[in-house]
Chain A
Amino acid sequence: MRLFVMYRLMPALRHVGHLDLMRAMQRALRRSGLPVKFSQGFNPHIILSLAAPLSVGMAGDMEVMDLPLAQPVLMAEFLSAFGRALPPGIRLVGAKEVDEDADSAMGQVYACTVRFDFLEDADALLAAVPQFLALQTYPMMRRSKKGMKSFDLRPLVYNLSVREGKLFAVLALSPEGTAKAEQVLEALMQLSGAARPALILTRTGLLNARFVPLEQGYVAAAD
């Protein structure tokens, strides 16, 4: 049996790094008593993968874990056992069964949606959003393994919109190209000349190449 498991990483745990989160998930699975699969070798670990690492400092509303199980379990049973085993800052949203040979969750991710919650006035910064969207290109530098490298941010930003003082972004997240929320922020700061406002970033969802949320068709966990 194989599942896509949807969970929420609460803002309180937004500084938990990717590897630490992986370990937390493994320990939660051990606590749950569910029939997990182990890797071979001297230090066996539970087989699971997280669809896309979250940047440290970012919360996640609809994160996806790809989890094979050694034996089939009832969905209701899975949701209840795993939901109870998670620490308070990680909430189980739901799960769906996927074919054993389906593409990995990681392989399906193509884009993500991000919400920028500003803790201080960001009007000046947000005023630059239309300007950014009107541009054809936005060259930027980013750090790569071979030092600084230039890339074009603009085509990797599929959309930006402002509602009630919050910024919502649809950003590329695939091996061909990735736009980071921090880079969008930087671009808007450059265009507007505004200082960086205090904010909390939340990745609100993961999308496939057809811009369909990965969680589509999931069974919701009880609250």
Chain B
Amino acid sequence: MIKEINRKIEALLDKVEKPSRYLGGEMNAYVKQKRPGDLSFAFCFPDSYEVAMSHLGMKILYDILNRSEHLLCERFCMPWFDMADGMRQEGVALFSLETRTPLRDFDVVGFTLQYEMSYTNILEMMDLGGMTILAEDRKEEDPIVLAGGPCASNPEPMAMFVDAFLMGDGEESILEVSECIRQMRNDGAKREDILFALSQIESVYVPRFYQAAYHADGTLKSFAPTRDKVPHRVKKRIILDLEHAAYPEKMPVPFTQVVHDRIVLEIMRGCTRGCRFCQAGMLYRPVRERSVEKLLDLADRLIASSGYEELSLSSLSSGDYPCLEELIRALMQKFEQKKVSVSLPSMRLDSLVKQSLKETAQVKKSGLTLAPEAGTQRLRDVINKGVTEEHLIRAVSDAFQVGYSQVKLYFMIGLPTETDEDLMGIAEVAKTVARCYFATPKDVRMPGLRITCSASTFVPKPFTPFQWAAQDDLQEILRKQAFLREQLKLKSTFFNWHEAELSILEAVISRGDRRVGQAIYRAWQLGCRLDSWQEHFKWDMWQKAFDDCGLQMDFYAARRRPYDELLPWDFVDIGVTKQFLRLEMERAAGGAVSPDCRQGCLGCGLKRFEGVCV
């Protein structure tokens, strides 16, 4: 008969709004039996199932862990409010999708840090899973909590909650760390000794072995290890050979529709463009590619094993993939009979190929998305987005000629040096796109022009040339948004913008120090969770949380930081050097463009890593 806990879960599933989020049982999910000596790894994605199952990194690491003989990995996602509340009421601990095992029963609990606004979800998931939230309070037998992903590059705001961070590419380090914990646990080692052993693995940061001290003005005074042999600087891990790096040949196929419900093929990692606001562009250096041959082989296997009807290519800048046309043509040919469509996200304007547009349009027609980021050439030069109006005109004109009629344009407001003239430039770009549409002959263009302009608020991020920059304050952001709303009252043009408060908090946390963790903890206690879902974002509670902890949001977000300030993330060697970032910040101030580093080395610092940038 059904176990008591399963009965409770089944009863909850009958009540909640979207029960299919919690079912598991997907095709290609791994359900492994835990044998003595095995290590169980809970892979936690701190957002809804629909977001989690759209994420490539999780699928890669889930596959790597489960392919290892003595490891088994199960997935956890953030439950929605109704489910979380029901679980608390019924005494049901957060359970895995695969076997409904409670989170606290795993040997290792790993969180992926994709977005700062998911941090309260991590605390919520730990609490629902019956875990101790503060790292220092965890007992011997408690799971070891790991974290990785892009936001781990500034780990400090989460340092109170995480036992060890993994910096950089995780394909190798996640196995090394898991194997180390497995062997030491099997040998009965103490928690403290296991964590010390982890600190000796390259790219692993164990916060408990470091101490931060502060000046009277709140800035960081010193940051150093407190224990012998613990590294002063933590160097990120780089997978040099992407071609031979592990990549799944099967991926779980969700029943419910997820955000990116398709096979994702990572064609390339890293970007050489050097946009000055872009954290991913700096974090994922150097550029590494997979060969067309390898990708075609993977595509075959993944489509056959998943039954997906769509495949998309993924990278930071797919247009820069050297054999893009060849790849797309081969994929089209391969899948025409099977009616599998191929889509290309994140195209840059200047690398847009008319031919590839035509070919994608053959199978499935969707809107064209472009990201000029700024409205004037001056500001695009400041941020080093090397895109000109001619690029834009050519790209949209080509698109209109092959039958597109919907264009999405992404912009940022609040970029360093921005004036109202730059904002007016955004409206000018929209007008230019409309002109290109009407310049396309009537019998060629598709009816239904729709131009969507999205303006997000600039958030200065660690390890970018703008890491020292001040973010606009709330009032100024709101004024700029209102100004743009007026400017963009144009025919066939739609404007949407991001919530200003959310962008401010993102800026605070992304460049936060250890003390910010207190405010995150307090905000969660005050009921903040699922903050990135605008309707659930509690700005007043976040403000109270910072007040309660005696911290100023402006100190972290709206302050121009001097170059000689010790930054909380300085101890992480992410590849690019602080000197390079400073040089780029200075060039930005002068409106000087830096070329793509494929056209000549700019000395970003990656060359210090052996075998990189050959």
Contact = CB atoms under 8 A, between A and B. Distances in A.
A56 B19 CA distance: 9
Nearest to A25: B307
Interface string B281-318: 00000000000000000000001111111000000000
B20 A16 contact: yes
A57 B14 contact: yes
B23 A13 contact: yes
Given A27-B307, A38-B339, A87 B14 contact: no
B23 A20 contact: no
A85 B48 CA distance: 27
Number of chain A interface residues as a range: 20 to 34
Contacts of A72: none
A27 B27 contact: yes
Contact of B304 (A24, A31, A200): A31
A20 B305 contact: no
Nearest to B256: A20
23 contacts: A12-B23, A12-B25, A13-B23, A15-B20, A16-B23, A16-B255, A20-B256, A21-B255, A26-B307, A27-B308, A27-B309, A30-B308, A31-B27, A31-B305, A33-B304, A42-B364, A42-B365, A85-B307, A88-B25, A89-B25, A119-B10, A198-B7, A198-B10
Contact of A119 (B2, B23, B253, B304): B2
Contacts of A88: 25, 27, 31
A158 B470 CA distance: 73
Interface string B318-346: 00000000000000000000110000000
B547 to A, nearest CB: 43
Given A13-B255, A119-B7, A198-B11, A30 B23 contact: no
A18 to B, nearest CB: 11
B220 interface: no
A57 B15 CA distance: 10
Interface string B12-36: 0110000110010111000100000
Which 3 pairs from chain A and chain B are nearest by CB? Answer: A27-B307, A30-B307, A15-B19
Contacts of A31: 27, 304-307
A92 B338 CA distance: 24
Contacts of B31: 88
Contacts of A86: 27
B434 to A, nearest CB: 25
Interface in A22-51: 23-24, 26-31, 33, 38, 42-45
A28 B27 contact: yes
A44 B339 contact: yes
Contact of B253 (A27, A43, A56): A27
B97 to A, nearest CB: 11
B560 to A, nearest CB: 51
Nearest to A44: B339
Given A42-B364, A198-B11, A200-B10, A29 B307 contact: yes
B440 interface: no
Contact of A20 (B13, B257, B303, B308): B257
Contacts of B25: 12-13, 87-89
Interface in B376-427: none
Interface in A137-169: none
Contacts of B305: 31
Interface in B41-57: none
Interface string B229-261: 000000000000000000000000101110000
Contacts of B303: 30
Contacts of B253: 24, 27, 87
Given A13-B23, A31-B304, A38-B339, 4 more contacts: A20-B256, A24-B253, A27-B27, A27-B306
Interface string B575-593: 0000000000000000000
Given A24-B255, A31-B305, A89-B25, A17 B365 contact: no
A43 B364 contact: yes
A187 to B, nearest CB: 19
Interface string A113-124: 000000100000
B13 A15 contact: yes
Nearest to A16: B255
Contacts of A27: 27, 253, 306-309
Contacts of A44: 339
A121 B309 CA distance: 46
Contacts of B11: 119, 198
A21 B20 CA distance: 11
A16 B253 CA distance: 13
Contact of A26 (B255, B309, B338): B309
Contacts of B364: 42-43
Contact of B27 (A11, A20, A87, A198): A87
